[in-house]
Amino acid sequence: MLNLIFKDLLIQKKTLGFLGLYIIILTLAFQSVGSGAFTSIIIAVTYQLVITAGSLEEKTGSDIVLNSLPISREKIVAAKYLSVFFYGLMAVLAYLIYAALLRLVPIPINIPPITPESLAAAFTVIMVMNGIYYPVYFKTGFVRARIISLIVFFAFFFGLISLFEAAGGSSSHGVLQAIAGFFSSVNKTQFSLMLIGGALIFMLASLILSIKLYRGREF
């Protein structure tokens, strides 16, 4: 199964090569977002890696090749879901490295620290986003699933940015301020654990559905 994940990494070597540049550009672009910048960057980078892997597989027809090999469809699906966590961890590691490098530059750049809450928020969104994307991907293929993924990504991405701006007092939207106020009043550790737990359950249900859909798909 790990070989399938490494295969996805190998086919997008060029994307991985620009990973640091993406993070630097996003860090500079999200200076006004405050503490939500880290969460937004991890979500954006992970989304890029997932979509690039699907796009390249579509171009090369590697999904057809995989189904001609003695590899169960269950393993193919499970590898895709595990790759989401792998991409997320890669994004976090790259953020740490390039954030350290940016601090050496004599330019006033705000580099938000990684907190347990921002980490939990990032992985919660990553799991939910791809939990929606992958059943469509394994049922219909990349072309149609890409549309769904794009819609979900922008909904979560800009929704979170707006929410963090409300939490920082930069938004006057009443509903967003109320939601931000609720988050600030609850126990952050307990709430983060609840988010991660709920997202893991959702991801597991999505995995089971994707396996069922992929078993019935014809190539």
Predicted model pTM: 0.86
- Helix ranges restricted to H, 61-115: 62-67, 73-103
Tell me the C-alpha distance between 199 and 112, whole Å: 24
Q: Where are the domains of the chain?
A: 2-215
Tell me the C-alpha distance between 9 and 50, whole Å: 10
pLDDT in tens, the chain (219 residues): 778 888 888 888 878 778 888 888 888 777 766 667 888 889 999 999 999 999 988 888 877 788 778 889 999 999 999 999 999 999 999 999 888 887 787 777 778 788 888 899 899 999 999 999 999 999 998 988 999 999 999 888 777 766 665 555 554 555 555 555 555 656 778 878 888 999 999 999 999 999 999 998 776
